[in-house]
Amino acid sequence: MPYSAEISRTNPTALVFLLDQSSSMLEPFGAQPEKSKGAGVADALNRLLQNIVLKCAKADGIRDFFHVGMIRYGGRVESAFGGALAGSTLVPVSKIANNPLRVEVRTRKVDDGAGGLIDQNFKFPVWFEARPTGRTPMCEALAKAKEFLTVFLGVQPNCYPPIVVNITDGQPTDGDPREAAKAVRALASKDGNVLLFNAHLSDKQNRPIEFPTEESGLPDDFAKLLFRMSSELPPKLLAAAKADRFPVGPQSRGFVFNADLVAVIRFLDIGTRVAQSVR
């Protein structure tokens, strides 16, 4: 059965993030209008990376279940890693864990147990900062992801199929990205085709949409375009999404609108999962 390969240190898989950093990302983000879409991408990516690191963290260090790539596209297409990892293509998650640009201390309000709220500090590692500029070469970014994954699949032909996550406002300037997307999805390990998921950050203030089964309810043509480019969720991811109470159906696709894809990281099976409800 496809999409059933074990993800382990000897058989890791790859995750590649494509980050739209074009000038349109300076516009406000519909889900949080005080932020730009570009800052929304950065937050989404930093949260994703943190979740990946924590998924692989054990008391004695990090287990390299994943190799991670980040490609930014805004004007140019290039590796989005900075600091010690600047210019890297795919790096094992232990290197990600040990090389954030910085670890910020942020504050959030929490229940004080007596009906009030108190400030609580928490650490927020930052790997990526928004610097929107220029046009939106999404097709070129997809081609770059294909390049990275072709090399990876040569080394790990039996891996759980790699996942490409494209975070964008969906307005490419270098042509119709469907062909480039198709070429990414055509890559395969022995366990199945590469999965392409899309997170659409819009300036529209519509309610978030997660893992839709059809495009008819989507708010605009950009959302529909990204939906068409997105892979269907394989059965195990679908079952995990269902268990986490997402309203998914058999044809649900890896597409979200004004929402993040952190849940997808949770769905990946590396062993006994701790249900969200008991954390």
For other proteins, which is the closer residue by CB, 126 or 164? 126
Pairwise CA distance, residues 40 & 139, whole Å: 21
Pairwise CA distance, residues 207 & 209, whole Å: 6
Of residues 119-158, which lie at the interface with other proteins (CB under 8 A)?
123, 125
For other proteins, which is the closer residue by CB, 77 or 126? 126
For other proteins, which is the closer residue by CB, 51 or 88? 51
Question: For residue 241, how many other CB atoms are within 10 A of its CB?
Answer: 21
Q: Which two tokens stand for residue 190?
A: 């022995």
Q: Does 216 engage in binding with other proteins (CB under 8 A)?
A: no
Q: Does 98 engage in binding with other proteins (CB under 8 A)?
A: yes
Considering only CA atoms, which of 160, 118, 127, 19 is closest in space to residue 78?
19
Q: Does 273 engage in binding with other proteins (CB under 8 A)?
A: yes
Q: Does 279 engage in binding with other proteins (CB under 8 A)?
A: yes
Q: Does 243 engage in binding with other proteins (CB under 8 A)?
A: yes
Q: Does 105 engage in binding with other proteins (CB under 8 A)?
A: no
Hey, which bits of the chain come out as E strands?
13-20, 28-29, 32-36, 57-58, 61-62, 66-74, 76-79, 90-92, 102-111, 117-126, 163-168, 188-189, 192-193, 195-200, 209-210, 255-257
Q: Judged by CB under 8 A, which stretch of 24-32, 40-48, 56-64, 162-170 contacts other proteins?
A: 56-64
For other proteins, which is the closer residue by CB, 124 or 143? 124
Q: Does 245 engage in binding with other proteins (CB under 8 A)?
A: no
Pairwise CA distance, residues 207 & 52, whole Å: 26
Pick one of 26, 57, 101, 188: the residue that binds other proteins (CB under 8 A): 57
Asked if residue 90 lies in contact with residue 14, where contact means CB atoms within 8 angstroms, the answer is yes
List residues binding other proteins (CB under 8 A). 6, 8-10, 50, 53-55, 57-59, 61-62, 97-98, 103, 123, 125, 243, 269-275, 277-279
